[in-house]
Amino acid sequence: MARRRLGFVVTGRVQGVAFRAHCCSEAERLQLAGFVRNRPDGAVEGEAEGDGAQIAAFCEWLHRGSPWSKVERVDVGELAATGAPPGFGVLR
């Protein structure tokens, strides 16, 4: 399956509820490359790269979020894949 890279912004109650940590765990489970970070406006943003099926599963997770989050909106945009090896982190 073709490699894809997505940029995403998740809004709702997504800061202070372990969203980034859970996001990182899910991305690592799916063997994705990328990052996640908080934004000053209360949203969370990031990028994720991997095979199409992995990215689809990750997008589904973004809509659910962490156990204590309340996802209100997920905006996703396609980016050019870089071929980055698996590895996902939280940026500050």
**Annotated catalytic residue within 13, 29, 38, 73:** 38
Q: What gap in Å lies between CA 77 and CA 39, rounded to an integer?
A: 17
**Annotated catalytic residue within 5, 20, 29, 92:** 20
Q: What gap in Å lies between CA 9 and CA 6, rounded to an integer?
A: 10
Torsion of Cα atoms, 54 then 57 then 59 then 62, to 10°: -120
Among this protein's residues, is 4 annotated catalytic?
no
Among this protein's residues, is 20 annotated catalytic?
yes
List the beta strands (DSSP E) in 24-63: 33-38, 44-51
**Residues recognised as catalytic:** 20, 38
